Amino acid sequence: MHLYLDTAIVDEVREIAAWGVVSGLTTNPSLIAASGRKFEDVIQEMVGIVQGPVSAEVTSLVKDEMIAQGLELRKISDHVVVKLPITPDGLAACKALTGQGIPTNLTLCFSANQAILAARAGATYVSPFLGRVDDISWDGMQLIRDIRLILDTHDLKTNIIAASIRHPVHVLEAAKAGAHIATMPAKVFQMLVKHPLTDAGIEKFMADAKKFK
Ligand code: E4P
């Protein structure tokens, strides 16, 4: 399972990408708004740091405008993946962009049926939102399992991005459920690397290293 960083904070991208484990990035309009920066500037800087897919979300809900925005975003870099909501217009825009060889990420996926639609529209990626499903007391991980089973059964090539990840158990379970990618905030990357026994082991080894001749 590949690991993506979900952020619009460029310093976070620099910090976590330096670990050498980040394959790509996702962002969304809420993250861009919270950054206080211009959308295109953030995407431009992010693609320069991670040489991998960077999902940038359109802000229109009208098919032709979505396609136009997607084409504009692709001018920034070939790494840009056009992120589209799963709506009738979003699916149609996905189909059109796919026809032009442009990668897409169909977002705000909350059901396996929506994932089937995304796959049939030719989506490169579909993003089920685990945390938001769990928030309403449904089972986000079962959604990932169902989507993976359907994609495999019908030989559909869309990749699952487990999104809206809130904690390390989401990452572990998404990997076991067959998500191709997990995208998460920097704070979850920090939680993944931490282990009290690693800290205790380092403290002891460093103390003992001072005793060498
Ligand atoms: C992914 O593409 C989304 O940007 C993100 O995972 C949403 O996460 P949230 O539900 O924590 O806002």
Model pLDDT, residue 19 = 98
- Residue 6 Cβ contacting ligand 1 at under 6 Å: yes
Kindly report, residue by residue over 105-154, the tens digit of the pLDDT.
999 999 999 999 999 999 999 999 999 999 999 999 999 999 999 999 99
125 sits in which H/E element: strand 125-128
| Alpha-carbon dihedral sign for residues 84, 146, 52, 168 | positive
- Residue 127 Cβ contacting ligand 1 at under 6 Å: yes
The residues annotated with a catalytic role in the active site are 83
Q: Is the pLDDT of residue 82 over 90?
A: yes
What is the pTM (predicted TM-score) of this model? Answer: 0.96
Q: Is the pLDDT of residue 213 over 90?
A: no
Ligand 1 centroid–CA 108 distance in Å is 9
- Residue 158 Cβ contacting ligand 1 at under 6 Å: no
What is d(CA 159, CA 44) in angstroms, rounded to the nearest whole number? 24
Model pLDDT, residue 122 = 98
Q: Is the pLDDT of residue 95 over 90?
A: yes
Ligand 1 centroid–CA 164 distance in Å is 4
- Residue 28 Cβ contacting ligand 1 at under 6 Å: yes
Kindly report, residue by residue over 58-79, the tens digit of the pLDDT.
999 999 999 999 999 999 999 9
Average pLDDT, the chain: 97
Model pLDDT, residue 81 = 98
Strand-pair partners of 61: none
Kindly report, residue by residue over 19-63, the tens digit of the pLDDT.
999 999 999 999 999 999 999 999 999 999 998 999 999 999 999
